[in-house]
Structure 1
Amino acid sequence: MKETLIKYIPKKAIPLVEYLINKHQVNLKIVSQRQTKHGDFRRMPDGRMLITVNNNLNHYQFLLTLIHEIAHHVTHQKFGRVQPHGKEWKTVFQHLMLPFLEPEIYPTQILPYLANYLKNPKASTDTDVNLSLALRNGKAEPGKIFIFEVPNGNVFQFKNRLYKRGNKRRTRYECLNLTNKRVYLFNQNAEVLLIQ
């Protein structure tokens, strides 16, 4: 397991992650990138619990996603069926993440955002714009930009569909789908392809 983990998480986190995987008998599968999620936890038909994490995440995103999913597993073991991101999961996730809040694991430019996010963790780290940007080192994937960088009124491509960026609401951008003329709300750190 160590040989696999070293490719995906910070080196100093490996002993802690190995301990959690062994203690909770985690079945981990690293999968190709999925558009809608970084990872997931599910019960298999044979009763085993499976955690999957996308292989395209950087070390810091991968570690956070893995602990997020292990927290689902531990919550299921302790409480049975509860709200997926309810108070039980939040408490377990916070508890599991505490040992990783070290500058030897997460750089000091990420730690304050991570600590703030963990006060009341949400279903997706991407909903916390500051943390999401810090985890990505402020950079979108090569060839893409963040939606907040798209000038108002400009056209961009997202999942092979064209949109026109509109106004910002409180935390999201209104964007007009140029095919069906419906308005969609985009998270402010969505990565898109700007159309010139």
Structure 2
Amino acid sequence: MRRENHLNNFSDYIPQKAIPFVEFLVEKHLFELKIVNERATKHGDFRKLPNGKFQITINNNLNPHQFLLTLVHEIAHHVTHEKFGRAQPHGKEWKTIFQHLMLPFLHPEIYPPEILRYLAKYLKNPKASTDADAKLSLALRGYEAESGKLFVFNIPNGDFFEFKSTIYKRGNQRRTRIECQNIKTHRNYLFHQNVEVIPVFIK
């Protein structure tokens, strides 16, 4: 069972300067906000509950800059639903609302310049996931992988790594994707360059 927590103290999760406007958004748009354990396939989501209320969930492993962007992303889904009802999940209506909601946060006191320049570019035509933007994704993580891991682009060509209990051999890079071979099946897969993996040393 996934452990869930109600969010009571924004200072634990987002940059300090962002708190006033985030509190305004949460109070203006009625929804339940919960922090949940990390999910491999998404940072957050928005949904309508069986009781008719709305809920936003955010992963608990995100740093303040990731958390804020994910939260506003999901609030934009809620506002899109309020204004347009059924609409494309990441269509033009959502993009326009997301861009508008993010404007107050595009400030160096909230996002440092090394993130802000990539974030501003991303918001010109935002995609469904920030992970699709390799430079922004890396900047949001502070250019550091979790302890004991490396980004797959840091694995030398021809070396091995573990991902989801499977060993791969790192191959050539194709723009933001890297070709890697499953050493058991010999099948090739394309990994996003910012995927975090565990280096493995095989003689």
Question: Equivalent residues in 2 for 1:26-65 (5 A)?
Answer: 26-65=31-70
Alignment partner of 1:156 is 2:139 = no
Contact 1:2 1:14 survives alignment (8 Å) = no
Corresponding letter in the other structure for 1:27:
E
Corresponding letter in the other structure for 1:147:
V
Match of 1:23 in 2: 28
Match of 1:117 in 2: 122
Corresponding letter in the other structure for 1:154:
D
Contact 1:75 1:88 survives alignment (8 Å) = yes
Deviation of residue 2 (structure 1)?
8.1
Match of 1:4 in 2: 9
Residues 46 and 182 of structure 1: CA distance in aligned 2, closer, same or farther (over 3 Å):
farther
SS of the residue corresponding to residue 127 of structure 2 reads: coil
Distance 2:176 2:16 in 1: 35
Match of 2:94 among 85, 89, 93: 89
Match of 1:167 among 161, 166, 172: 172
Deviation per residue, 1:15-53 (Å, 9 max, x gap): 100110111112110011111111111111111111100
- Count of matched residue positions in the alignment of Structure 1 and Structure 2: 196
Contact 1:165 1:176 survives alignment (8 Å) = yes
Match of 2:151 in 1: 146
Deviation of residue 182 (structure 1)?
2.5
Distance 1:179 1:17 in 2: 48
SS of the residue corresponding to residue 12 of structure 2 reads: coil
Distance 2:173 2:149 in 1: 20
Distance 1:63 1:180 in 2: 40
Deviation per residue, 1:97-151 (Å, 9 max, x gap): 0000011111122111110110111111111111111111111111111111111
RMSD over aligned Cα atoms = 1.4
Distance 1:83 1:47 in 2: 20
Uncovered stretches (5+) of structure 1, i.e. residues with no partner? none
Deviation per residue, 1:50-78 (Å, 9 max, x gap): 11001111100000010011111111111
- Bigger CA drift: 22-31 or 158-167? 158-167
SS of the residue corresponding to residue 51 of structure 1 reads: strand
Deviation of residue 3 (structure 1)?
4.7
SS of the residue corresponding to residue 110 of structure 1 reads: helix
Contact 2:76 2:101 survives alignment (8 Å) = yes
Deviation of residue 175 (structure 1)?
1.4
SS of the residue corresponding to residue 181 of structure 1 reads: coil
Distance 1:42 1:163 in 2: 36
TM-score by length of 2: 0.92
Identity of aligned residues (%): 66
Distance 2:144 2:50 in 1: 39
Distance 2:184 2:50 in 1: 40
Contact 1:39 1:53 survives alignment (8 Å) = yes
SS of the residue corresponding to residue 66 of structure 2 reads: helix
SS of the residue corresponding to residue 6 of structure 1 reads: helix
Residues 146 and 129 of structure 1: CA distance in aligned 2, closer, same or farther (over 3 Å):
same
